[in-house]
Amino acid sequence: MTSLEPAPDETSTHLETDVEVLVVGAGITGLYQLYRARVAGFSVQLLEAGGGVGGTWYWNRYPGARFDSESYTYAYLFSRELFEEWEWREHFAEQPEIERYLNHVVDRFDLRRHIRFGAKVTSAVYDETSGKWTVVIGDGTELRTQFFIAATGVLSVPYYPEVPGRQDFRGEAYHTGLWPAEPVDFAGKRVAVIGTGSSGVQVVPAIADEVASLTVYQRTANWCTPLNNAPITPEEQAQLRTDFEAMCETLNTSPSGFLHQAHDRATFDDSKEQRWEFFEKMWSSPGFSKLTSNYSDLLLDEAANAEWCEFVAEKIRTIVKDPETAEKLIPKHHRFGEKRPPFVTGYFEAFNNSNADLIDLEQTPILRVTEDGIETADGVREFDIVVWATGFDFGTGALNRMGIRGRDGVALEDHWADGPKTFLGVQTTGFPNFFFPGGPHAAAGNNPRYNGDQVDFITDALIYLRAHGCDTIEVSAAAEEKWTDMIDRWATRAPSFGEISYYFGSNIPGKPRKYLLNSAGRPKLFAEIDKVLESHYQAFRLSNSSNPARTGA
Ligand code: N01
């Protein structure tokens, strides 16, 4: 049990055991799903394994954890009043503020009375006769629901690599994705950080100045660029309020769910001098704009991508004083965007501290964890604290571990043995009335926007069913196959990109190499949703479990 799991006496309230809509997960997507289902008049219950709301923003409370999408673009947009009454302090909010915001939302909309904390789902079984799901939680309690909606997220199962001796370490050890509630005291400690993905590169500068020594174990250097965070000034707060409607319009229609505008020029439309001038602008621009507002061919043309990478490499060499460390920090084997790029504040600068060291695991791999530290080919280094920033079983991790059983008792993890098969990233064939917004084949961009689209689609479908005397909805095998094939085809369309990212499950030994997001992007989701609505849900079979004659709408 981690200290983020609630004490038993906190878990005993708020449980309706027979509902129309049961949501799993009190993250941004699950809370929005709960809100929408309740407003639509369904009886609702939300189950959450942790002791509070926030989902990913509850478990990932490591030092330095913060948004890298603009706070106001990541927040809920369904209520103008909510938007106006919550003033984000920074353009990219830190985890404590995010958690406070989500708690505010839950109380503001009176959602807490529908949430049971400390309720980890251990099985969910579809009953063909009643058309309902039976869901069991950790303490053995059984719930029944018509619609089972798992908003369990794509980054919710922390991954520890199989390093010999990991359990032998006698100091403190933490995973960024399972961070304890009590603050960890880093002052004067010898600290190892393993992993240099978005989490590791946020931890490093956050603790660099207080530790006695900081040793970063890097297997793959990452294309980190500045987040360019800043406090939101009173004038900007006022402007945000004024621009609310225009902002919603942009976010609700943008291909990636960001405010950043696409650039209309390709890399080699400009001279080298113009390019470098533009790249300087990109370097100083906020967060994801380096990806979304860069030259239009950045992800499509190898030579174009190499130009930007050369610019970033020069920046790294300028920031990092030790040339050998700088070279190690420059990625050599992948292009910008081929892995999810982190956006950082002070990451490269941290290596200028005399107490900071970078271990390149390509040269000296970790051999084992010992009782006192970490052993590589160079010998053993001793530590007081080891931080595992080693990522997640992305996309399917949570859903495949929940004991989900569809028609004929088929296990979801068997149905997805070769990778996830979905339609719109919301349903899979053979699992009627089961939805998973924000799961596999979901967002490629600003998550809450895309996941919100899915929640809206699901809720509208449930309303439609109710209005047409149906209580069961199941996507057709043909629709699922077509959507999944399209995802797989689009995933490899950038000619220079390999299947090296966790987006393909490649960080987990033995996991099928299948693309886990929506590779075709949000416009494709919009287009497909329009088709479904125009055709009155033709891609699905709608029926009534107590009146089989009543099929379709
Ligand atoms: O995880 P990761 P993360 N020995 O999988 C390394 C979101 N997020 O938690 O690249 C040594 O990206 C691994 O090395 P390699 C965001 O979507 C957002 O950092 O596989 N190292 C890599 O360096 C992000 O993409 C924010 O060679 C090992 C690291 O561990 C996602 O969460 C902040 C290893 C894992 O990186 C996941 O990020 C944080 C081994 N055996 C996270 N195994 C925001 O800013 C793995 N590694 C909003």
**Alpha carbon distances (Å) from 128 to 73, 133, 263, 408, 542:** 41, 9, 51, 8, 14
- pTM value is 0.96
Q: How many CB atoms lie within 10 A of CB 272?
A: 9
* Residue to mutate (ligand 1; options 90, 504, 507, 513; most atoms within 8 A of CB): 507
Report the separation in Å between the CA atom of 200 and the middle of ligand 1, taken as the mean of its atom positions: 7
Residue position matching structure tokens 């084997």: 333
**Mean pLDDT for back-to-back runs of 10 residues, the chain (553 residues):** 56 81 98 98 98 97 98 97 97 98 98 97 96 97 98 97 96 98 97 98 98 98 98 98 96 91 96 98 97 95 96 98 98 94 98 98 97 96 98 97 98 98 98 98 90 97 97 98 94 77 93 92 93 97 79 55
> What is the sign of the dihedral through the CA atoms of 506, 507, 511 and 515?
negative
Nearest CA to ligand 1 atom 24: 198
Report the separation in Å between the CA atom of 264 and the middle of ligand 1, taken as the mean of its atom positions: 32
Report the separation in Å between the CA atom of 278 and the middle of ligand 1, taken as the mean of its atom positions: 29
d(CA 51, CA 202): 24
Report the separation in Å between the CA atom of 197 and the middle of ligand 1, taken as the mean of its atom positions: 3
496 burial (CB, 10 Å; 0-12 / 13-18 / 19+) is: middle
Q: Which pLDDT belongs to residue 522? A: 92
d(CA 147, CA 471): 9
Report the separation in Å between the CA atom of 219 and the middle of ligand 1, taken as the mean of its atom positions: 10
CB 108 within 8 A of CB 31: no
Report the separation in Å between the CA atom of 161 and the middle of ligand 1, taken as the mean of its atom positions: 12
Helix (H) or strand (E) holding 304: helix 302-319
Nearest CA to ligand 1 atom 9: 391
Report the separation in Å between the CA atom of 497 and the middle of ligand 1, taken as the mean of its atom positions: 18
* Residue to mutate (ligand 1; options 178, 219, 513; most atoms within 8 A of CB): 219
Atom of ligand 1 nearest to the CA of 162: 41
d(CA 463, CA 475): 16
Atom of ligand 1 nearest to the CA of 219: 27
* Residue to mutate (ligand 1; options 60, 70, 218, 390; most atoms within 8 A of CB): 390
Atom of ligand 1 nearest to the CA of 177: 9
Q: Which pLDDT belongs to residue 134? A: 98
Report the separation in Å between the CA atom of 217 and the middle of ligand 1, taken as the mean of its atom positions: 12
* Residue to mutate (ligand 1; options 198, 328, 359; most atoms within 8 A of CB): 198
Please tell me the total number of residues recorded for the chain in this structure: 553
Residue 105 gets the label, from left (phi > 0), alpha (psi -120 to 50) or beta, of alpha
Atom of ligand 1 nearest to the CA of 198: 19
Report the separation in Å between the CA atom of 233 and the middle of ligand 1, taken as the mean of its atom positions: 32
* Residue to mutate (ligand 1; options 58, 155, 359, 516; most atoms within 8 A of CB): 155
Atom of ligand 1 nearest to the CA of 506: 20
> Any idea what DSSP says for residue 60?
-
Residue 54 gets the label, from left (phi > 0), alpha (psi -120 to 50) or beta, of left
d(CA 28, CA 35): 11
**Alpha carbon distances (Å) from 135 to 105, 422, 425, 455, 516:** 27, 22, 22, 21, 26
Residue 448 sits at the vertex; the CA angle it makes with 19 and 47, to the nearest 5 degrees, is 30
**Alpha carbon distances (Å) from 252 to 140, 255, 256, 322, 394:** 41, 9, 9, 45, 25
Residue 419 gets the label, from left (phi > 0), alpha (psi -120 to 50) or beta, of left
Report the separation in Å between the CA atom of 359 and the middle of ligand 1, taken as the mean of its atom positions: 16
Report the separation in Å between the CA atom of 430 and the middle of ligand 1, taken as the mean of its atom positions: 33
Report the pocket of ligand 1 as residue ranges, CB < 6 Å.
67-68, 155, 161, 176, 194-200, 202, 217, 219-220, 340, 361, 366, 389-392, 502, 507
Nearest CA to ligand 1 atom 26: 198
Atom of ligand 1 nearest to the CA of 161: 41
Report the separation in Å between the CA atom of 155 and the middle of ligand 1, taken as the mean of its atom positions: 10
Nearest CA to ligand 1 atom 21: 195
- Here the tokens at position 128 are 């063909």
Atom of ligand 1 nearest to the CA of 163: 41
Residue 426 sits at the vertex; the CA angle it makes with 448 and 252, to the nearest 5 degrees, is 35
Report the separation in Å between the CA atom of 62 and the middle of ligand 1, taken as the mean of its atom positions: 14
In sequence order, which residues have a C-beta less than 8 Å from that of residue 459 and are 6 or more positions away? 33, 36, 37, 40
Q: Which pLDDT belongs to residue 204? A: 98
d(CA 408, CA 256): 38
Atom of ligand 1 nearest to the CA of 507: 20
Report the separation in Å between the CA atom of 533 and the middle of ligand 1, taken as the mean of its atom positions: 38
Atom of ligand 1 nearest to the CA of 201: 19
Among candidates 342, 345, 516, which has minimal Cα distance to 440?
Answer: 516
- Here the tokens at position 373 are 């530290």
d(CA 311, CA 290): 12
Report the separation in Å between the CA atom of 215 and the middle of ligand 1, taken as the mean of its atom positions: 17
Report the separation in Å between the CA atom of 142 and the middle of ligand 1, taken as the mean of its atom positions: 36
CB 392 within 8 A of CB 155: yes
